[in-house]
Structure formats: structure tokens, C-alpha cells
Amino acid sequence: MLSLLSIVLTFLSLIIMPCLFVSWRLRVPLSITNIRRFIKTTASQCNDKEESGTTGEKEKGGRMPKHVAIILDGNRRWAEKRGLGPSQGQEAGARTVMENVKDYFSMGINTVSLFAFSTENWGRPGDEVKYIMDMFEKIVKSEMPNLRRYGVKVSVIGKRTNIPESLLHLIGEAEEATKNNKEKQLIVALDYSGKFDILQACKSLAEKAKNGLINVEDIDENLMDKELMTSCSEFPNPDLLIRTSGEQRISNFYLWQSAYTELYFPSVLWPDFGGAEYLEALDWYQKKQRRFGLRV
């Protein structure tokens, strides 16, 4: 009897312990669905490592996306549904970023882009904008030690002309402190506009042509890619773009870069977008690639 009980307990521990680890590792609810997604994405990551560098750019993309871009949408609506103010919604959205950013790289993702603050957002009430800028400062100060420990390179793209000097100083320190990290990169789009990005790239190419540094005939998509703000990444164009809240558009974000990007629009509001939802997005991406006969 004691021997049988020992066998049963051993069997249960072999099943339960890995399940608990998956739930803890990605901060997702313990369920068969999430365990299945974790196993599939982990297996894809292992295949990527085995096959990377073997045959060309398509294989280099591997079975998992190398660049995931996320539009953090729904903070204000999340707050409204709970009878809270806009600032509390922004704070909840910031917590979601801080709690999950490490896990966004755990599946072998190289680059993660966050559309944190658009140029259009300056049109919001002044007190809300000030709160957001102050919140960004707190996040940079509190999260920098963690990002350095995780080996994440931080890049902030956008106009920067209206951003407070104190925040610009912290951004400069963060970029300098992490510039030598290679395997993981976090791109934060702050005061970013996709239209402006294309415009500044065109102006840069025109200036170089005017000064004789390039010939007009040589201007092509590759040169354009190098002038865009996302050229700071080894993988400048996202494979998967996620916009939370159910809005089915990319607005003014990565207009050029998303020409061949898979677009995923979950209905969940950003503060509720956790590890389970991220696994679901990756699972959707893999299914979408297989459906069209592409190697993923």
C-alpha cells in the first residue's frame, strides 16, 4: 500500500511540478491550453537555435518571430470600465509592461517594440500628459537595473523635441549603458509618428543625394530601411504586430516597416494583456504561417 502511494505521488509530482513551473515562469493561469502553448513555442525556439545561420534570410527568421511590435492600446478604457481616472489606467498599463517585458524575450524573440506614446498623444489634457512623462521617468529609473541584468539593449525612437529634458537625460543614460547588448533589444516608440519617420528618411536621402554621397538612381528599399528609425535593430521590420483593445488598424505606427507584417488584434485591453495572451498571439502567428505554407 505504501509502495503504491509512493508511486502515485511520484507520478503526480512529475506532472504537476512542470505545470506549476510553466504557470510561474510566464505568469499565466495553470491550464492545459497554456501548457500546450508553452510546449509548442519552446519547441519552436529550440528548432530556431538548431537551424539558425544555415540557409539564408528566410531560415534566419526561424519558427518564431524575431521582432514583435505591440501597440499598447486600451489603458483609458480599462480605467473607465472600473470607474477610475485616466492616470490610473496609464499606471496599470505601465505595470503590465514592467511585469511582462522579460517574458517577451523568453521565447527567443530578439526585438520587441512598444508603441508607448504617439505624437498625436500630445493633444491629450495637459495633466494627463505630464503624468505620463513623469511615469516614464520613474519606469526608466526603476527598470534600468533589471534591463541591464537581463542583457536587454534599450533604444528609444521618436521626435524627442517635446520630451522633458530630465527624461531625455535618463533615456540617454539607458541607451549608453545598454548599447553593447546584442541578443535582446527593446525599442520604445516615444513621441513617434510613422508618417514623420518616413518623411525624415526621405529628407535624409535627399540631402545625401544633394551632397553627392549617393546617386538618386541608387535609392531603393534597402537604403530607405537604413534611414528609418528602426534601423537601430538587426531586425528592423516586425514579423508580428499586436494591437490590443480590438482596434483593427495600426494607426500611425510602423507604416513602412509593417508592409509584410502579420497583424493580430486581440480584444483584451492592454493592462489585461499578460503571459497567457502573449502565448496565444505567438500560437496564432505560427498557425497563420503554416496555413499559407510558409516555413515557420
Locate cell 500628459: which residue?
129
> Active site residue: 48, 73, 197, 283, which one?
73
CATH number of residue 154's parent domain: 3.40.1180.10
Query: How many structural domains is the chain composed of?
Result: 1
Is 73 noted as a catalytic residue in this protein? yes
Residue 211 resides in a domain: no
In a domain, 220, yes or no: no
Residue-number span of the structural domain to which 81 is assigned: 67-193+236-285
Domain-embedded: residue 226: no
253 within domain boundaries: yes
- Residue 48 in any domain: the answer is no
pLDDT confidence tier of residue 5, bands split at 50, 70 and 90: low
Residue 91 lies in a domain: yes
Cα 144 from Cα 133, distance rounded (Å): 16
Q: Does 80 map to a domain? A: yes
CB-based burial label for 142 (10 Å; 0-12, 13-18, 19+): exposed
SS3 29: coil
- Angle value at C-alpha 47, between 27 and 101, nearest 5 degrees: 30
The DSSP letter of residue 234 is: S
Report the distance separating Cα 182 and Cα 104, nearest Å.
Answer: 16
**What are the pLDDT digits (tens) for 267-279?**
999 999 999 999 9
Tell whether pTM > 0.85. no
In this prediction, residue 106 carries a pLDDT of: 77
- Decide if 81 is inside a domain: yes
DSSP state letter for 174: H
The rounded distance, in Å, linking the Cα atoms of 177 and 180 is: 8
| Tens-place pLDDT, residues 76-128 | 999 999 999 999 999 999 999 988 888 888 778 999 999 999 999 999 999 99
